[in-house]
Chains A and B, each alone.
Chain A
């Protein structure tokens, strides 16, 4: 029997780095095949080769047993290969249907037939259970929805081999469950899937086989039924992985962040944070648990001075910073790891080094009387790259060309290194491999030990439960309860997040 996809001895070099070094990948027909490996191991590169975005320096590709030459994504599409990228490639101002048909528009008398497009999209979404509204604009729909649009795009082009590059990194737990169901349905319909993920749970839940790569090299391939999470994790990292636990005693100090009676509006002028009260002390990690869209984003944007506060006040270290400029708030002691790393966390066309001083470039020792001290900046960047194990050829490399996880490490390195009084970490480990997650968690705990206040927002309940000293549950823009992680569990949190208070009427 031939493989749906067979990539043999693939090699791909970038200036200063071998991203793929003699990698062989065999995907059977009708399976979900996991591609597993640390940040910068070369997973996205390998998939970009398969999709025709990069040309391999060496190696061959076989599709359904036949040798294939894939010069560009059009070739890949013709061969039935579709890709959902790590960072979406959709046009914000276009509708769902317009995005899906783009490049292959249905026509009537040479004119775009929009009615037909909408109809096709509807049919497709029903067939595979991918719920979308064809007429909504991309900018108005959730990330999970955008991802479905990406999947529909590939299905519309008739793909029977689907590549998912870290699809779950940007999804909420519920959306992940939905995606897994969708993938299982797709396989049942005869499609083959390559899934890149850093989450072992997902691999064991839905994959049939797995290929592990490390630093651009093949490590092993095996059936999922023949391995276990611990083995797989150490195979990927090349050593044993320990879960970091917040074991430092909980000794809250003075109040660092005080949010009182806060109300904030979103773009549509709807109140999404309502009379919210929250205090974070020095020496504690406060986790915020909640379903996406309950005001978390707006809350932290308001704290960071990026969104107008309608009512209420925000104090950092006793200083009233309500509606102040972001620069002032940062100088008062805010560090911020934003949720959207590419849009908000990095200047992608700046070098890694330049990105390391994005908030401090004008201050000593990085500058003096308005002039940059590039030597000092370079030295700092080198130190952080080393300390945080950012996999990059050098500090001069553009942030754009780093792997997703390494981009995230650049941001975390920058923010943690400043050791701010208040560190807001929004999805700090999104897209990171197990080893890197362990490392970042260690860093957050270290900040706490230093007496800093850490505000952690995460959709990963595991992460919240592991790290927090207190967990605040946010629902419809209010903190509806604060619980002790040692006295709660995922079930109870889940109920709270759905808006049911402990001992409330719903019980």
Chain B
């Protein structure tokens, strides 16, 4: 882990930090213009997250799928691919885990719980494998195919729920307790939040990403192909196979994210008429986290905190919760313009020398 931190050079670290500060500042300006008190607003976010166990728990809970989605995007990115299909992979994983839990409900917990989690990962893997195959064999660009796969997931999950797993309230039945990640202990600890054991899965996934990429021969290959497909091919690596593998592993992370929602937070899946948004937020999380495992955790925490704390901001400072989405969008905007920030910093330090 120490090595991980060392790899980041300070200059690149500046961009996300400055982006977050600028995003928050711009958010404050907007609040001022509309007539709210930004200090009160931010204060209520910070206080709720750090001083009210319920919001702390909810923040960590919201982090779980965000981090997994972020890892999915970051993993693919590290190997030179844009996985825009995390959303679809996540939905596929969500439904698969819930379906597995319900269908095999009679099995004991030691088997059923891991099996359901794995089912989620496997469904995500499949949803990543298909665009990988399309790219490797037919050169279909993964951005296009993963977006298409998102829609396929959206409508297929709805269809399956409607026809096979339907219950009152436009959703699947609740999963049996044996497959649930929810924990009365954690809930009590956090004054009734929905915090569940899924955070352990997220931690394992964070370590796994780092381990796979930097400690295994496959990871070496994936990174080499990501940086330079030409040189990798000259060195005897199979570029197509690595593309497929990369998107498949990426899909596993996303699918696990969905399983955490299905088995942990909600205990069922509703018929979605629109996307959950977690997968897309995952892109932002990865971007802000510089596509590193640790970075994904940090930026996942930030986004989850803003979203959860945003609720108290509304009740305490009267600021509409939508403003949080604007702030998040602003942060992403600034990260995206990282080049400009670097350039400006360069200019400033240079002027300083003279």
Interface residues of A (CB under 8 A from B): 55, 71, 304, 306, 325-327, 329-331, 336, 338, 343-350, 354, 358-359, 361-362, 367, 370-372, 374
Q: Which of B204-227 contact A (CB under 8 A)?
A: 214-221, 223-224, 227
Residue of B nearest to A366 (CB): B217
B34 at interface, CB cutoff 8 A: no
CB of B237 within 8 A of CB of A343, answer no
Residues of B within 8 A of A338 (CB): 234
B106 at interface, CB cutoff 8 A: no
Q: Which of A343, A347, A354, A371: most chain B CB closer than 10 A?
A: A347
CB of B227 within 8 A of CB of A347, answer yes
> How many A-B Cβ pairs are below 8 Å?
70
B233 at interface, CB cutoff 8 A: yes
From residue A429, how far is it (CB to closest CB) to chain B in Å? 19
Residue of B nearest to A344 (CB): B234
CB of B216 within 8 A of CB of A370, answer yes
Complex Cα–Cα for A344 and B224 (A) = 12
Complex Cα–Cα for A29 and B10 (A) = 43
Q: Which of B225-266 contact A (CB under 8 A)?
A: 227-228, 230-238
Complex Cα–Cα for A362 and B238 (A) = 13
Name 5 interchain pairs, CB-CB below 8 A, sorted by A.
A331-B236, A344-B234, A358-B231, A370-B217, A371-B217
Chief secondary structure at chain B's binding surface: helix
From residue B241, how far is it (CB to closest CB) to chain A in Å? 11
Q: Which of A329, A346, A361 contacts B217 (CB 8 A)?
A: A361
CB of A326 within 8 A of CB of B231, answer no
Residue of B nearest to A345 (CB): B231
CB of A326 within 8 A of CB of B216, answer no
CB of B233 within 8 A of CB of A358, answer no
Known: A350-B223, A370-B216. A325 touches B232 (CB 8 A): no
Residues of B within 8 A of A350 (CB): 223-224, 227
CB of A367 within 8 A of CB of B228, answer no
Q: Which of A336, A348, A362, A372 contacts B234 (CB 8 A)?
A: A336
Residues of A within 8 A of B234 (CB): 304, 306, 326, 336, 338, 344-345
Q: Which of B216, B236, B353 contacts A372 (CB 8 A)?
A: B216
Known: A343-B230, A350-B224, A361-B220. A327 touches B236 (CB 8 A): yes
Residues of A within 8 A of B353 (CB): 55
Residues of A within 8 A of B217 (CB): 361-362, 367, 370-372
From residue B147, how far is it (CB to closest CB) to chain A in Å? 24
CB of B224 within 8 A of CB of A347, answer yes
Complex Cα–Cα for A370 and B220 (A) = 10
From residue A280, how far is it (CB to closest CB) to chain B in Å? 20
From residue A399, how far is it (CB to closest CB) to chain B in Å? 10
Residues of B within 8 A of A371 (CB): 215-217
Binary per-residue interface labels of chain B (161-179) against chain A in the complex, 1 for a CB within 8 Å, 0 otherwise: 0000000000000000000
CB of A325 within 8 A of CB of B218, answer no
Residue of B nearest to A377 (CB): B220
Residues of A within 8 A of B228 (CB): 343, 346-349
From residue A43, how far is it (CB to closest CB) to chain B in Å? 24
Residues of A within 8 A of B221 (CB): 361-362
Residues of B within 8 A of A374 (CB): 215
From residue B101, how far is it (CB to closest CB) to chain A in Å? 32
Q: Can you list the 10 inter-chain pairs with the closest CB atoms, starting with the nearest?
A: A327-B236, A362-B217, A358-B235, A326-B236, A349-B227, A344-B234, A330-B236, A347-B228, A367-B217, A347-B227
Residue of B nearest to A363 (CB): B217
Complex Cα–Cα for A325 and B241 (A) = 13
**Seed contacts A349-B228, A361-B221; 12 additional CB < 8 Å A-B pairs:** A325-B236, A326-B234, A330-B235, A336-B234, A344-B230, A347-B231, A350-B224, A354-B220, A358-B231, A361-B220, A362-B217, A374-B215
